[in-house]
Amino acid sequence: MSKLQTVIRHEYLTIVRQPSFWILMTAIPVLIGAVIALSFFGNQSSVARIEELSKDLKNVSIIDDSGLINKKVVEASGLTLSPTDQTATLREQVQHNEKEALIVFPSNLASARTYQVYLSTNDLTRSSTVTALGENILKTSLFLPLGSAEIIALAQNGASATLTVYEDGKETGGINEYIAPGLFVVLFYIIFAFSISYMLTSVSEEKENRSMEMVLTYVKPRTLIIGKLLAVSLVTLTQIMFFALLALIALLVLRQTGNAIGLPLGIDISKIVFDPMTIFFGAAFLIVGFLMYAGFMTATAAAAPSTKEANSFSSIFFIGAFIPFYFITAIATDPENPIVNFLTYFPITSPVVNLIRNTVDNLGPLQSWISLIVMIGFMLLSILIAVRAFKLGALEFNQTIKLSKLFKR
């Protein structure tokens, strides 16, 4: 086995053998699943609880000054409308806990769009139940003149739009065209959150625990860095495969349920478009961007005397990866904007900006190639800086390497 292979094997196994690696990997989908499940079941149980509590709300008075409330709707809830001149008396009864609640729909309800609820208790559940009751009575009263239950439901919940988009006289996939290239943006952030930092810790820990000199006695700095880069790339591949497997399982579940779980924004799995060039550039921007960031992280770790300081220095790269989101509208809709062009070619923002522009298809083939070549240039530069910083700083255990020293011939 060559030294490069030995380094790759060691670095890869060191990361994937850590229980924390798998805990983190499974924690994300489990957490997402748990949040969705909790929200789903939580909502269901809340609705059920409110319905249950509504049945008990017999000691509630309703006063309508607005003339908008339908008497039949109130009676259907098991309640009656009280005369408007009893407002003060009923409010006092609520105050002294003789009545549970009072709902007052004022005369200016239509213009002010507020109504009053008086409660005899500070109980949050009771408060939301009475508010929901008031809301329900108001909405149903307003929608009742529309006629059928279907029309009322349509008025209350709206309808989803099915988009058909034409470009150059041909029908396009609409939002479904963005899904495949958009996945590379998501992948970039997953890699960024998980893998890029491995490069930083791998170098800075080796330096901090003083194993660096023993390693560098037998391995050239360049071999060590390339070995680490390739090992972290393999780790990333492992993560991608793991998440892809989970996504596949989710997809199968979705198909099994016959799309019972609706996807947002009119996304239709069967209509997702896989354009080879977009996929190629998405993958290329992802890989080159990953290697560029990994190079910068290595340089940072080699130049800093400790993991703590390396982490502080590296925050600039994390900021760079998230800055594009402040300009997301301009990036997606205004490709000629000078700021967008600057961010497209600025090293630490270029991966995300190019991935987003590739997703919304406003980069064009020529500019895609130019962006890719520029990014490859930055990637090579970052690796060169990393090797240089490594040679200078790997054995400097107590001091930070100055930038001037880094670029000195």
Nearer to another protein, 288 or 392 (CB): 392
Torsion of CA 97, 99, 101, 106, to 10 degrees: -120
* Smallest separation (angstroms) from another protein to the CB of 164: 55
* Smallest separation (angstroms) from another protein to the CB of 243: 24
> Of 6-14, 26-34, 238-246, 368-376, which part binds another protein (CB under 8 A)?
6-14
Residue 224 near residue 216 (C-beta atoms within 8 A) = yes
Binding flag, residue 10, another protein (CB under 8 A): yes
* Smallest separation (angstroms) from another protein to the CB of 395: 7
Q: Give the x-and-dash track for 211-230 against another protein (CB under 8 A).
A: x-xxxxxxxx--x-------
Residue 352 near residue 374 (C-beta atoms within 8 A) = no
* Smallest separation (angstroms) from another protein to the CB of 55: 59
∠ CA 268-271-275, rounded to 5°: 130
Using only C-alpha atoms, the chain has a radius of gyration, in whole angstroms, of: 31
Binding flag, residue 397, another protein (CB under 8 A): yes
Binding flag, residue 367, another protein (CB under 8 A): no
Nearer to another protein, 270 or 404 (CB): 404
> Of 4-12, 66-74, 355-363, 375-383, which part binds another protein (CB under 8 A)?
4-12
| Separation in Å, CA 76 to CA 90, 130, 283, 403 | 21, 15, 60, 77
Cβ-proximal residues to 331 (8 Å cutoff; 6+ apart), any chain: 324, 340, 343, 353, 356, 357, 360
Task: List Cβ<8 Å contacts ≥24 apart for 75-84.
Answer: 77/133, 77/136, 77/137
For β-strands 60-64 and 101-105, DSSP reports them as parallel
Residue found by looking up tokens 């970052």 in the block: 382
Can you name the residues that pair with 81 across neighbouring β-strands? Answer: 62
Binding flag, residue 322, another protein (CB under 8 A): no
> Of 26-34, 86-94, 203-211, 260-268, which part binds another protein (CB under 8 A)?
203-211
* Smallest separation (angstroms) from another protein to the CB of 218: 4
Using CB under 8 A, pick the residue from 210, 255, 271, 308 that binds another protein.
Answer: 210
Q: Which amino acid, 374? A: V
Query: What is the helix (H) or strand (E) element at residue 102, kind and residue range?
Result: strand 101-105
Nearer to another protein, 138 or 203 (CB): 203
Nearer to another protein, 214 or 244 (CB): 214
For β-strands 170-172 and 165-167, DSSP reports them as antiparallel
Binding flag, residue 237, another protein (CB under 8 A): no
Binding flag, residue 209, another protein (CB under 8 A): yes
Cβ-proximal residues to 243 (8 Å cutoff; 6+ apart), any chain: 29, 190
Using CB under 8 A, pick the residue from 178, 192, 206, 235 that binds another protein.
Answer: 206
The DSSP secondary-structure symbol of 193 reads I
Q: How many CA atoms lie within 13 A of 403 on its CB side?
A: 1
Nearer to another protein, 162 or 217 (CB): 217
* Smallest separation (angstroms) from another protein to the CB of 252: 37
Nearer to another protein, 118 or 198 (CB): 198
Residue 357 near residue 383 (C-beta atoms within 8 A) = no
* Smallest separation (angstroms) from another protein to the CB of 295: 21
The residues binding another protein (CB under 8 A) are 1, 3, 6-7, 10, 13-14, 18, 205-206, 209-211, 213-220, 223, 395, 397, 405
